[in-house]
Each structure stands twice: as structure tokens, then as C-alpha cells.
């Protein structure tokens, strides 16, 4: 029986460190793919395969996986890390980047693209973030000014959609023939307004366009309806 720490083979030698596994085989996708390679040989169904993948990895990390299965897993890990399976390495690097950037966005609250009024208050209380709040007010024509520097930008659209939990928000740059729809944007359950949240650098891209039309769209019984329109002129401060 091997020790409780995970083991990783380098060449034909093994050394006991879970950190070594992270450094050598690097990404969660490679680990998952290697586990699937081991599990697939068991002939289990797809749902059983998912469970088996998790069990295989857990057993490998806690040292309870038998040596033959561990060796097979390590072969699959290092083959993937070395790019022996076409496209695996590039895919793993991409997924790793997405995971790391996604974790950063989640930590800053910008992964979902909208927050509640209560969450806005919590952000305003933080001392480590430079936050700008742009209140567009009720639908209509408006102008906004955005600072050149900052961390996060909150855009408040006072649409009063009580009873709605999610809406689509469409932004159009008329002179550039650009239109982007963000789907399933959170509506604050207490006041029905939308508190859009994004990274400052992303907000600047929209501000630099100078003019945008923002539409808030609901869906009821399969029918989409524009319930609010903002005609926004913007500039940098």
C-alpha cells in the first residue's frame, strides 16, 4: 500500500507530492481526461463514468488507488501534458486560462454581469476597489461621464420590473452596426431595477463609442418585448 500522499512519476521514478502533480501535469482538464481514460476501460455507462472519474481522482490523491491503476493514470496524465493526444495540451492551457480568469471575475463579482442593490452596497463599502456608479435613471435619453481609471463600473437602470427575475439587455452601437445581447441579466428582487456590473476596462470600450442604445427585454409566454430603452451619449472624464 502506498503512502497517503499522491504520487507522480517523473521518467520512471515516482516522488510523493500532490504539488508535483500540479506542476507537471498542470491543468484540471488533463487530470479529468486522464481519469476518464482509466474509467472508460471499466465499461461503465456515461453517468457511471462521471462518478468513476471523481472516485479515481480522489483515490489517486489520497493514496488508496492500486499501483496498476495509478500507473495507468499517470501514463495518461503525462501523455496529455506532452501533447501526445492531438490538441489536448492547447485545449488544457485554454481551459486553465478561462478557469483562472473566471475565478478572478467571480471573486470581484463581475462574472454574472449584474448584482443586487444589497450587493452594490457591499461593493461600495470595500476599500480595495475603485467603483464608479452610473445611474441612468428612468428609460429615455441621457448622457454619462466615465472616469478613465477604476476597477468596476455599476450601471443602474431604474426599470421597476418587480415580478421579473431575469431580463435580456441589448446594447447597440448604431454608427458601428454593432449589437450585443447579454442574456438572463439579474433583476433586483426588492426594487425591480437592473444593476449592471462590469470591469472598468470593458465599460470603457462602450464609453469610447460615444453613443449607444440600450434595450431591456423581457420574455413572457415565449414572446420577447422591449420594456425600456435608453439612448445614451457618453464621454470619458
pLDDT score for 10: 35
| DSSP run (H or E) holding 212 | strand 211-220
141 and 172 inside one domain: yes
- Cα–Cα distance measured from residue 75 to residue 137, given in angstroms and rounded to the nearest whole number: 59
pLDDT band at 216 (very low <50, low <70, confident <90, very high): very high
**Can you give 65-81 as a three-state secondary structure string?**
CCHHHHHHHHHHHHHHH
One domain for residues 134 and 89: no
Q: Which residue has the cell 473566471?
A: 102
| Structural domain boundaries, residue 145 | 114-236
CB burial of residue 175 (10 Å; 0-12, 13-18, 19+): exposed
CA gap 195, 156 in Å, rounded = 5
Does residue 175 share a domain with residue 126? yes
- Judge if 16 and 64 occupy the same domain: yes
120 and 103 in a common domain: no
pLDDT digits (tens, 9 = 90+) for 22-75: 443 344 555 555 555 544 554 544 445 455 666 777 787 788 888 888 888 777
* Residue 49: partners with Cβ closer than 8 Å, 6 or more residues away: 36, 39, 40, 42
Q: What is the pLDDT of residue 102?
A: 65
Instruction: Of 36-40, 92-96, 130-134, give the lowest mean pLDDT range.
Output: 36-40
Q: Do both 100 and 122 map to the same domain?
A: no
196 found inside a domain: yes
CA quadruple 109, 229, 232, 176: dihedral sign: positive
In a domain, 1, yes or no: no
Average pLDDT over residues 106-110: 65
pLDDT tier, 2 (very low <50, low <70, confident <90, very high otherwise): very low
pLDDT higher at 187 or 40: 187
- Does the residue 50 lie in any domain? yes
Q: How many domains does the chain have?
A: 2
Q: Domain boundary at 88, 108, 128, which? A: 108
Is pLDDT at 197 greater than 80 in this prediction?
Answer: yes
Would you say residue 186 has pLDDT above 80?
yes
Distance CA(57)–CA(79), nearest Å, equals 17
Asked if the model's pLDDT at residue 5 lies above 50, the reply is no
Domain at 120, CATH number: 2.60.40
The pLDDT of residue 204 is 85
The verdict on residue 2 lying in a domain is no
Q: What percent of the chain has pLDDT above 70?
A: 64
C-alpha separations of 228 from 49, 80, 113, 139, 144 in Å: 47, 50, 18, 6, 18
| Residue 116, all three cell numbers | 443586487
Same domain, 59 and 130: no
The pLDDT, as a whole number, for residue 46 is 41
Domain membership flag for residue 18 = yes
Tell me the pLDDT of the chain averaged across its residues.
76
For residue 3, being part of any structural domain is answered with: no
- Cell triple for 145: 461621464
71 and 101 fall within a common domain: yes
Check if the beta carbon of residue 75 is closer than 8 Å to that of residue 8: no
This prediction's pTM: 0.58
What is the spatial distance between Cα 58 and Cα 18, in angstroms, rounded to a whole number? 12
Strand order in the sheet with 211-220: 140-146, 223-236, 211-220, 166-173, 178-186
Report pLDDT for 21.
42
Domain boundary among 108, 124, 154: 108
Is there a domain that residue 185 lies in?
A: yes
What is the model's pLDDT at position 222? 86
Instruction: Answer with the residue of higher pLDDT: 80 or 121.
Output: 121
pLDDT of amino acid 60: 78
Question: 144 near 232, Cβ under 8 Å?
Answer: yes
* 123 and 100 both lie in a single domain: no
Cα torsion at 63, 65, 66, 71 (round to 10°)? -90
Last residue of a domain, one of 108, 128, 150: 108
- Same domain? For 126 and 231 the reply is yes
Q: Which residues pair with 220 in a beta bridge?
A: 223
Amino acid at each position: 500500500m502506498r503512502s497517503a500522499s499522491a504520487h507522480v512519476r517523473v521518467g520512471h521514478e515516482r516522488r510523493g507530492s500532490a504539488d508535483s502533480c500540479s506542476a507537471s501535469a498542470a491543468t484540471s482538464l488533463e487530470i479529468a481526461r486522464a481519469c476518464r481514460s482509466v474509467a472508460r476501460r471499466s465499461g461503465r455507462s456515461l453517468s457511471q463514468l462521471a462518478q468513476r472519474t471523481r472516485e479515481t481522482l480522489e483515490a489517486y490523491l489520497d493514496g488508496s488507488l492500486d499501483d496498476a491503476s495509478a500507473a495507468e493514470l499517470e501514463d495518461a496524465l503525462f501523455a496529455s501534458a506532452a501533447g501526445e493526444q492531438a490538441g489536448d495540451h492547447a485545449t488544457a492551457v485554454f481551459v486553465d486560462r478561462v478557469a483562472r480568469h473566471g475565478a478572478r471575475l467571480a471573486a470581484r463579482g463581475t462574472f454574472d454581469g449584474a448584482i443586487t442593490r444589497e450587493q452594490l452596497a457591499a461593493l461600495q463599502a470595500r476599500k480595495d476597489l475603485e467603483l464608479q456608479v452610473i445611474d441612468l435613471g428612468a428609460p429615455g435619453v441621457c448622457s454619462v461621464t466615465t472616469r478613465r481609471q477604476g476597477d468596476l463600473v455599476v450601471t443602474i437602470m431604474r426599470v421597476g420590473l418587480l415580478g421579473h427575475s431575469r431580463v435580456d439587455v441589448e446594447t447597440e452601437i448604431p454608427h458601428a452596426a454593432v449589437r450585443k445581447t447579454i442574456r438572463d441579466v439579474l433583476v433586483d428582487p426588492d426594487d425591480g431595477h437592473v444593476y449592471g456590473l462590469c470591469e472598468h476596462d470593458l465599460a470603457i470600450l462602450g464609453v469610447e463609442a460615444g453613443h449607444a442604445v440600450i434595450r431591456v427585454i423581457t420574455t413572457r409566454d415565449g414572446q420577447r418585448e422591449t420594456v425600456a430603452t435608453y439612448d445614451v451619449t457618453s464621454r470619458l472624464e
